[in-house]
């Protein structure tokens, strides 16, 4: 799911997966705690996160560097 949505928040993940808000919020929190997702703000609500390094990897692949 992350390649299709390199910047993700709870509503986008709920719509993309059909899972419930609590399940998605828990998953995003776990991925952030593991360093896989990087929060884009410190706000407790309406937080978006990005997959660390994913956009750089996509750009490198498109440029034939990876």
Residue among 30, 33, 1, 32 nearest 14 (CA):
1
Report which of residues 53 and 64 the model is more confident about. Answer: 64
pLDDT single digits (tens) 29-48: 999 999 889 999 888 788 89
From CA 26, how far away is CA 21, in angstroms rounded?
A: 8
> What pTM was computed for the model?
0.75
Output the six-digit token pair for 22: 């609590």
- Give me the count of residues in the chain: 66
What does the pLDDT average to over 49-56?
Answer: 83
From CA 34, how far away is CA 59, in angstroms rounded?
A: 24
Report the percent of the chain where pLDDT is more than 70. 98
């Amino acid at each position: 799911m992350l390649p299709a949505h390199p910047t993700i928040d709870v509503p986008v993940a709920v719509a993309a997966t059909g899972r419930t808000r609590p399940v998605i919020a828990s998953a995003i929190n776990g991925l952030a705690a593991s360093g896989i997702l990087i929060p884009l703000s410190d706000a407790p609500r309406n937080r978006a996160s990005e997959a660390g390094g994913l956009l750089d990897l996509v750009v490198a692949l498109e440029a034939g560097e990876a």
